[in-house]
């Protein structure tokens, strides 16, 4: 992809006499999405100097194989850099929606963002941060960025607060874009265990010769989006974003029954679902991203359908039968 005018201008600093590198910060860079983002930035922005911040509570060094940048092994709340950054991607947060400790969830997610935003403000840096489709709550309609927040758990509430803080920062002149991730799946999430995507967990069950377990009837619909598409949308927000919030999903809600059909097709199996009752009262039974703003401002067009994304993922995991 060609660089935008902003990134081209910033990269040109490097070649000027007395110029400096383009400094990029990625928080949560050893995690699932963060590591995919950091490695893609390394490939796509060779003129940048990358720093990853991760305390490794939920990330893993294995995700950063081949990373050639700097690393600060500290949480986002306590990160105190000496250098300035030109672009900041803030993905660090507690992402397990079942965490019951509200104080821990909200403190780490909110105060971490507040600290990173202050660092970016001092550096006059471009900021892109991870919001979430969870902020939309228990909706049954297609979700647009103007839909009021209705968080149903502490994780979603913390992300809604991030959106509020970002809105105030924009009024003060900070260029900050939020990217509301929908249900992300793909390489780099295996270390998350029970917090990994349902596509990974159901695929693992099939690989182990077990019927895939899903909530009863299986017709709950989620917007499943491949991590490669999420990384693309995140980088586009940095290059083209207009200092607002953008949905980053596939644009289509698909049922869990459809996920199992896609997994069976990819893996050459014929497992039937094993249905059980849903124990969570905060569970989103429907998510679907309205991508109109993302397409208009960013030119974001997801590459993968559910079927193609699952097939690609199973191949990259090595789970497809020969």
Task: For the chain, list the domains and their CATH numbers.
Answer: 22-183+226-234+243-249 (3.40.50.720)
How much is the pLDDT for 281?
A: 77
Residue 17 has pLDDT above 50, yes or no: no
| 285 vs 272: which has the higher pLDDT | 272
Q: Residues 295-312: what's their mean pLDDT? A: 98
Question: How would residue 20 be classed by pLDDT, with cut points 50, 70 and 90?
Answer: low
How much is the pLDDT for 3?
A: 42
How much is the pLDDT for 203?
A: 98
Contact between 314 and 320 (Cβ < 8 Å): yes
Catalytic positions, written as ranges = 155, 192
Residue 246 has pLDDT above 80, yes or no: yes
Q: What is the mean pLDDT of the chain?
A: 92
How much is the pLDDT for 139?
A: 87
- Percentage of the chain beyond pLDDT 90 is 86
How much is the pLDDT for 282?
A: 75
How much is the pLDDT for 15?
A: 33
Residue 197 has pLDDT above 50, yes or no: yes
Helix axes of 227-240 and 32-44: crossing angle, nearest 10 degrees: 60
Contact between 199 and 263 (Cβ < 8 Å): yes
Q: Residues 82-95: what's their mean pLDDT? A: 95
How much is the pLDDT for 66?
A: 96
Distance CA 43, CA 27 (A): 18
**Strand ranges in 209-276 using DSSP code E only, listed in sequence order:** 213-215, 221-222, 224-226, 245-248, 254-255, 274-276
How much is the pLDDT for 99?
A: 86
How much is the pLDDT for 236?
A: 98
**Cα within 13 Å of Cα(151), Cβ side:** 16
How much is the pLDDT for 217?
A: 92
Distance CA 158, CA 152 (A): 11
Residue 8 has pLDDT above 70, yes or no: no
Contact between 61 and 35 (Cβ < 8 Å): no
How much is the pLDDT for 322?
A: 55
pTM: 0.92
**b/e for 195-222, b at 16 or more Cβ within 10 A?**
bbbbbbbbbbbbbeeeebebbeebebbb
Give 104-145 pLDDT, tens digit per residue.
Answer: 999 999 999 999 999 999 999 999 999 999 999 998 899 999
Of 71-80, 94-103, 188-197, the one with minimum mean pLDDT is: 94-103
């Amino acid at each position: 992809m060609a660089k935008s005018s902003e990134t081209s201008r910033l990269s040109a600093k490097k070649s000027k006499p007395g110029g400096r590198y383009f400094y990029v910060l990625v928080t949560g860079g050893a995690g699932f999405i963060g590591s995919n983002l950091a490695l893609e930035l390394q490939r796509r922005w060779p003129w940048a100097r990358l720093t990853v911040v991760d305390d490794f509570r939920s990330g893993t060094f294995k995700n950063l194989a081949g990373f050639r940048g700097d690393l600060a092994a500290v949480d986002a709340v306590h990160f105190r850099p000496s250098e300035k950054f030109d672009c900041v991607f803030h993905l660090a947060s507690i992402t397990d929606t079942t965490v019951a400790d509200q104080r821990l969830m909200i403190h780490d997610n909110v105060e971490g963002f507040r600290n990173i935003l202050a660092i970016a403000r001092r550096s006059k840096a471009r900021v892109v941060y991870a919001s979430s489709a969870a902020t939309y709550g228990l909706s049954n309609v297609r979700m647009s960025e103007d839909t009021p927040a209705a968080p149903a758990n502490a994780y979603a509430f913390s992300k809604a607060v991030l959106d509020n803080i970002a809105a105030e920062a924009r009024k003060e002149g900070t260029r900050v874009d939020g990217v509301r991730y929908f249900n992300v799946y793909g390489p780099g999430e295996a270390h998350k265990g029970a917090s990994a995507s349902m596509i990974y967990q159901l695929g693992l069950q099939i690989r182990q010769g077990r019927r895939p377990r899903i909530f009863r009837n299986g017709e709950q619909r989620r917007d499943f989006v491949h991590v490669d598409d999420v990384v693309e949308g995140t980088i586009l927000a940095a290059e083209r974003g207009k200092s607002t919030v953008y949905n980053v999903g596939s644009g289509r809600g698909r049922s869990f029954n459809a996920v199992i059909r896609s997994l069976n097709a990819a893996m050459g199996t014929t497992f039937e679902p094993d249905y059980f009752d849903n124990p969570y009262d905060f569970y989103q039974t429907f998510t679907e991203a309205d991508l109109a703003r993302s397409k208009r401002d960013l030119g974001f067009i997801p590459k993968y359908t559910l079927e193609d994304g699952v097939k690609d993922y199973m191949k990259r995991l090595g789970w497809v039968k020969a």
